[in-house]
């Protein structure tokens, strides 16, 4: 598809509500920031945050800086935002890391907790890196986590339960993959491209990781702020039509020199 300019991509992100005035409401964002600050590990997305982020106002400050949500703590309900310029800035940073992976023909693992929205983004990126000579990780068979299975479609690891692909924030599927690779004496990835707990846990275990995150998923932005995660791209991670992400993917791959 055509490669959008930066300005055209910003316009597209706002029009499709991938960024700009997004669907995630302000009260939901603040509830997640509070739960992270209160130590609810579901919202840590596989990272180990200790007691460093026990003040939800500190979490809000990071989200305003790195995601573009409203920085006013008195704004409690209604609309919230993602700054599309920050989205494109983060895509540029991710593109630089993908370019490095291609140059080094690195071993790369792709995974998503949002198969209904981001599977194609990850799959196209995996195909581009394979064409550039990278080794795309084939996960071991028979992996189980969270009373389901960790499987792979189109080079992307996903979580399956009851013959259905699930939306998951859990880090346990990533643990299953990394532990499974070790058990088979296979090398771990040089880079993980993912989202949710898949990205956070890979980064926590010392692997270079980049990922996508919504404005109600603050942990990955904190991980980038602390230097654990390399890149967190702010976006609405489940908009109306998965095809809305296609211009974003084209911009990313072009920036990485993969088109």
Cβ neighbours of 188 (radius 10 Å): 16
Give me the pLDDT at residue 63, please: 98
pTM of the complete model: 0.97
Taking only the tens place, the pLDDT of each residue in 169-195 is 999 999 999 999 999 999 999 999 999
- Listed residue (111, 82, 138) closest to 211, CA to CA: 111
Question: 114, 50 in Cβ contact below 8 A?
Answer: no
The DSSP letter of residue 114 is: -
Is the pLDDT reported for residue 70 higher than 90?
Answer: yes
Task: Specify the 3-state DSSP secondary structure of 117.
Answer: coil
Whether 1 has a pLDDT exceeding 90, the answer reads no
In this structure, what token pair is assigned to residue 202? 């890979």
- Mean pLDDT of the chain, nearest integer: 97
227-253 pLDDT, tens digit each: 999 999 999 999 999 999 999 999 999
Overall number of domains in the chain: 1
Residue 185 belongs to what domain range? 1-258
Residue with tokens 């088979």: 184
- For residue 194, the model assigns a pLDDT of 98
Q: And the tokens for 2?
A: 């055509």
In the chain, what percentage of residues exceed pLDDT 70? 100
CA Rg value for the chain: 17
Of 258, 241, 228, the residue nearest 101 (C-alpha): 258
109's CB contacts (< 8 A; 6+ apart) are: 136, 137, 139, 157, 177, 189, 191, 192, 193, 194, 202
How far apart are alpha carbons 50 and 75 in whole angstroms?
27
Mean pLDDT of 62-86: 97
Sign, CA torsion 119/124/128/133: positive
Instruction: Render pLDDT for 75-97 as a digit per residue (tens, 0 to 9).
Output: 999 999 999 999 999 999 999 99
**pLDDT (tens digit per residue) in 12-38:** 999 999 999 999 999 999 999 999 999
Taking the alpha carbons of 179, 183, 189, 194 in that order, is the dihedral positive or negative? negative
Mean pLDDT, residues 147-164: 96
Over residues 202-218, the mean pLDDT reads 98
């Amino acid at each position: 598809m055509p490669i959008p300019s930066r300005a055209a991509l910003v316009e597209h992100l706002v029009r499709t509500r991938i960024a700009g005035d997004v669907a995630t409401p302000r009260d939901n964002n603040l509830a997640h920031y509070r739960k992270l600050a209160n130590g609810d590990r579901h919202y840590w997305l596989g990272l180990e945050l200790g007691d460093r982020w026990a003040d939800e106002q500190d979490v809000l400050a990071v989200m305003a800086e790195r995601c573009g949500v409203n920085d006013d703590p008195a704004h409690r309900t209604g609309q919230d935002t993602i700054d599309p310029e920050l989205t494109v800035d983060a895509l540029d940073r991710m593109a630089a890391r993908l370019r490095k992976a291609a140059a080094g023909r690195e071993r790369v693992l792709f995974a998503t907790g949002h198969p209904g929205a981001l599977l194609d983004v990850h799959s196209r990126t995996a195909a581009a890196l394979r064409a550039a000579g990278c080794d795309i990780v084939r996960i071991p068979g028979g992996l189980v986590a969270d009373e389901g299975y960790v499987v792979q479609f189109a080079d992307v690891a996903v979580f399956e339960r009851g013959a259905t692909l699930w939306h998951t924030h859990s880090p346990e599927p990533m643990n299953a993959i990394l532990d499974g690779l070790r058990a088979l004496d296979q090398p771990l990835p040089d880079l993980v491209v993912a989202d949710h707990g898949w990205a956070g846990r890979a980064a926590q275990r010392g692997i270079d990781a980049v990922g996508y995150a919504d404005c109600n998923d603050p942990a990955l932005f904190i991980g980038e702020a602390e230097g654990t995660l390399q890149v967190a791209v702010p976006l609405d991670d489940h908009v109306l039509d998965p095809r809305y992400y296609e211009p974003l993917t084209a911009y990313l791959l072009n920036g990485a020199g993969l088109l």
